[in-house]
Chain A
Amino acid sequence: MSTLTDAANKVPLMFRAQVEGRCQVQRLIPKALEQDAERWADEWVDKAYPDAPNFGKDVQTRPYALSWRFITNSGQDDGVIRPVIGARGWPFYPGSSMKGVFRQAAHQLERAGELKLGTCDRYCGEKLENNDFRPGILRFHGGYPTDTRWTQNLVDIVHPQQQWQVKSNDKEGGAFIQISLYKPELIVGISSTTPLDDLEWEQIWHIWETALSLGLGCRVSAGYGQPQQRSGDILYRTRLKGQGQAAKLVDGTGEFRPNVFRAAIRGHALRIFGGLTNADQAEGLVQDLFGGIRGGATVGLLSMAFLDTQLELDDFGQGSYSQPTYTVEGELLWRLTRDLPQPQRQALTKLIEALTRFAMVFGGFGKSWRRADHRLVYPDYYDQGYKPLIGCHWEWLGKRSQVRDVRVRKLEKVGDFIAEVRQAAKEWMQLQTRTPQLDTHANWREAWHPDKVQVWGRETDGLEDCEAVRWLHGPYREAIPSVGIPEGSIYRSSITGQMGNVGRLWHRMYPKVRLVKDPENPKKPMPLVTRQYFELVTVFPDDSVESEQLLGFLNGQQTLFKKLWPMPRH
Chain B
Amino acid sequence: MYHRAYGIIETLAPLHVGASAGEETGNLNLIFRDQFTQTGIIPGSSIRGRFRADMRLRRQQHLEASLKAAGVDLPAATARKVSSPEDPKKRLPRLEWLEQEAEKQSISVPELVNENHWYGHHAVTGQEDGGTTEALVKFEYASLVWIPVFCPGQPVVWVSCPRLLRRYKQITGKPEPVLRPKAAADGQPKQYPVKLREHRDRLFFNLGFLDNLAETPDLSNWVPKDSQIQPDNLVVVDDQDISIIHDMALYRQTRTKLEDDVKKVENFFGFEALPEDSILIFPIAVKDSVPHYDRASDASADGSARWKPFKNRTLRELYFGGLESIGCGHCEVTLAGDYFGDTPDDADA
Residues in chain A within 8 A of chain B (CB atoms): 1-4, 7, 10-15, 40, 43-44, 46-49, 53, 55-59, 73-76, 84-89, 94-96, 98-100, 104, 107, 122, 124-125, 134-136, 138-142, 189, 193, 214, 220, 297-299, 337-339
Contact = CB atoms under 8 A, between A and B. Distances in A.
Contacts of B254: 73-76
8 contacts: A47-B153, A87-B276, A96-B255, A139-B326, A140-B325, A140-B326, A189-B327, A339-B261
Closest 6 pairs between A and B when the two form their complex, measured CB to CB: A95-B327, A75-B254, A87-B276, A95-B326, A43-B152, A141-B327
A14 B80 CA distance: 48
Given A56-B332, A136-B325, A2 B252 contact: no
Contacts of B324: 135, 139, 193
Nearest to B251: A86
Given A141-B330, A297-B264, A338-B261, A46 B150 contact: no
Contact of B156 (A11, A89, A141): A89
A10 B209 contact: yes
Contacts of A99: 325-326
A124 B13 CA distance: 19
B213 to A, nearest CB: 11
A40 B154 CA distance: 13
Interface string B29-57: 00000000000000000000000000000
Contacts of A189: 327
Interface stretch (B136-144, B200-208, B285-293, B340-348): B200-208
Contacts of B210: 1-2
Interface of B: 12-14, 78, 80, 150-156, 189-190, 202, 204, 206-212, 241, 251-258, 260-265, 268, 270, 275-277, 317, 319, 323-328, 330, 332
B325 A138 contact: yes
Nearest to B188: A3
A55 B317 CA distance: 11
Which of B207, B254, B260, B275 is the most central at the interface, judged by chain A CB atoms within 10 Å of its CB?
Answer: B254
A95 B328 CA distance: 8
Contacts of B275: 87
A11 B154 CA distance: 11
B263 A88 contact: no
Contacts, number: 145
A117 to B, nearest CB: 13
B276 A53 contact: yes
A12 B248 CA distance: 13
Nearest to A48: B150
A363 to B, nearest CB: 30
Contact of B151 (A4, A15, A49): A15
Contacts of A214: 263
Contacts of A7: 208-209
Contacts of B156: 47, 49, 88-89
A569 to B, nearest CB: 44
Nearest to B12: A56
A135 to B, nearest CB: 6
A85 B253 CA distance: 9
Contacts of B190: 1
A59 B5 CA distance: 29
B324 to A, nearest CB: 6
A339 B328 CA distance: 33
Nearest to A59: B330
A122 B80 CA distance: 11
Nearest to B22: A133
Nearest to B255: A96
Contacts of B152: 12-14, 40, 43-44, 46-47, 89
Contact of B12 (A55, A95, A339): A55
Given A2-B189, A86-B251, A107-B260, 7 more contacts: A47-B153, A56-B12, A59-B330, A94-B326, A94-B327, A139-B324, A142-B326
A15 B205 CA distance: 9
Contacts of A10: 204, 209
Contact of A299 (B150, B252, B263, B326): B263
